[in-house]
Amino acid sequence: MTAAIIWLIVGLVLVVAEVLSGDFVLVMLGLGALAGAASAALTGNPIIDVLVFGVSSAGLIILARPALKRKLLSGTDVRTNTDALLGTTAVTISTVNSAGGQVKLAGEVWSARSLTDTEVIEPGTTVTVVEIAGATAVVSSSP
CATH number of the domain at 89, please: 2.40.50.140
What pLDDT does residue 70 have? 83
pLDDT of 129 = 95
Residues 6 and 60 in one domain: yes
pLDDT of residue 130: 95
Name the average pLDDT for the chain: 90
Higher pLDDT, 21 or 137: 137
Local structure of 29: helix, strand or coil: helix
Q: Nearest to residue 92, comparing CAs of 71, 76, 109? A: 109
124 lies in which domain range? Answer: 81-140
pLDDT in the model for residue 95: 94
Where residue 142 falls among pLDDT bands split at 50, 70, 90?
Answer: confident
What is residue 40's three-state secondary structure?
helix
Q: Each residue of 42-62: pLDDT tens digit? A: 998 999 999 999 999 999 999
71 and 106: one domain?
no
Q: Are 86 and 101 contacting, i.e. CB atoms less than 8 angstroms apart? A: no
Q: Are residues 95 and 36 in the same domain?
A: no
Q: Residues 75-100: pLDDT tens digits? A: 666 677 888 889 999 999 999 999 99
Q: What is the pLDDT of residue 5?
A: 92
pLDDT of residue 1: 65
Cα–Cα distance measured from residue 3 to residue 92, given in angstroms and rounded to the nearest whole number: 67
Last residue of a domain, one of 53, 77, 101: 77
- Give the number of domains in the chain: 2
Q: What is the pLDDT of residue 56?
A: 96
CA distances from 112 to 80, 121, 142, 143 (A): 20, 11, 15, 17
Please, are residues 32 and 12 in contact by the beta-carbon 8 Å criterion? no
Tell me the whole-structure pTM to 2 decimals: 0.52
